[in-house]
Homo-oligomer: A and B are copies of this chain.
């Protein structure tokens, strides 16, 4: 079915690109298209959502789908094919520079942290006040997690196709800690772990903390991790775990379609290699349905699910969780060893926030905000950056991956931009092997201001001057 809706989407996209449907046209209704393509209505709806994600359709409530030509649009980045081999991960300190105090005055396009305007400040404050009044409950060790928090997580996981009990949940200090606990549970120092490339720097840092080697698997800009690349690596190296951000990966923004998630899960199960899934951006899909995690396709208890509220409710809570499955005893022990438990008050507050339905109400707004913010930033980049620049087309989250044309250096842009008080993340951060010198990652989760507009224009100008050699 995954293949089918993609075929329909491709054909519709072809019709749009050939001018059969023009900018602003209303698409025929779903029943019409269902007959036209000989597919079910749900397949048509999935095709619509796919095209919406690609930027070719606009859903207007109660009016249907309208064509939107992303006219002078930048292409998606090209998936890089590398002959990779495992390397130890060391000295990934660059992220620290991006978060240093002195950067707080810069135009904040570097770190993937939402602007406070996008956070549910009032509602989480209500829940925190509620939690503060819990008395004793706020003072005792919450190991392996507050019952109320774990119950709410179990309820949410069930809606994602992962039916678990509260006892299957381990509360952590963010997803970063969850990933480290998962790695500790299934690897020994020196082992080889497969990750996407470009990869979230936190994952590379997690590998460094545990003393692991990394092998980087190419990521397709919209379909995610290359399964072919992964299979080659599995055949060649004794890989002990695979870490994947399955939904709206950071920095690429890729979302693996369900069929590829399914393949990923069975491929790793066959190879007896645990999948560590980071689903931190899953709730921030821009349209359509909440994408499933790979864990929903896990029939052999081979997927360790990790997530957090850092990208949704707030990063300051430091509240995440994991579903370690058969590795629970091991993960619990490591959690206890590294810091005993996760702070009680944030758990009580978030449990209340979820229970009240505030989270789901907030997500509806947040998803719309991030979608708009990402599109606006994408358009601004397309206008400002040199011809030949490619920009990712994420279907969720709030970061963009910008690939400058060959011969241009993103690292130079990063350095010069810092001198002008503009903070962006250089591509180099997203790999162990200096692969992405021509890339940048931009955080879009900011209300659009003249300051930001000018910063993006300036970045484009700097990029135009940043020729290497």
Contacts and interface: CB of A to CB of B under 8 A. Distances in A.
B139 A314 contact: yes
Interface in A87-101: 92-93, 95-96, 99
Nearest to A320: B339
A340 B177 CA distance: 9
A129 B143 CA distance: 23
B128 A140 contact: no
A339 B139 contact: no
Contacts of A319: 343
Contacts of A337: 92, 176, 205-206, 208-209
A136 B121 contact: yes
B140 A132 contact: no
A197 to B, nearest CB: 19
Interface string A111-143: 001001001010011001101110110111111
Interface in A313-346: 314-319, 332-334, 336-346
Contact of A141 (B93, B113, B208, B338): B113
Given A121-B136, A132-B125, A318-B342, A96 B336 contact: yes
A221 interface: no
Interface residues of A, number: 58
Contacts of A173: 173, 339-340, 342-343
B338 A318 contact: no
Contacts of A92: 337
A140 B315 contact: yes
A140 B343 contact: no
A291 interface: no
A93 B316 contact: no
A457 to B, nearest CB: 28
B316 A140 contact: yes
A344 B332 contact: no
A343 B315 contact: no
Contacts of A206: 337
Contacts of A125: 132-133, 135, 138
A394 interface: no
A174 interface: yes
Given A121-B139, A139-B119, A141-B99, A317 B344 contact: yes
B314 A343 contact: no
B139 A96 contact: no
Contact of A133 (B129, B189, B339, B342): B129
A316 B343 contact: yes
A372 to B, nearest CB: 21
Contacts of A189: 189, 211
Given A340-B176, A343-B316, A332 B141 contact: no
A245 interface: no
Interface of A: 92-93, 95-96, 99, 113, 116, 119, 121, 124-125, 128-129, 131-133, 135-136, 138-143, 172-174, 176-177, 180, 189, 202, 205-206, 208-209, 211, 314-319, 332-334, 336-346, 349
28 contacts: A92-B337, A96-B332, A96-B333, A99-B143, A124-B139, A125-B132, A125-B133, A125-B138, A128-B131, A128-B138, A129-B132, A131-B132, A132-B349, A138-B316, A139-B317, A140-B315, A142-B316, A172-B339, A173-B343, A176-B338, A315-B340, A316-B341, A316-B344, A317-B343, A317-B344, A318-B339, A318-B341, A338-B338
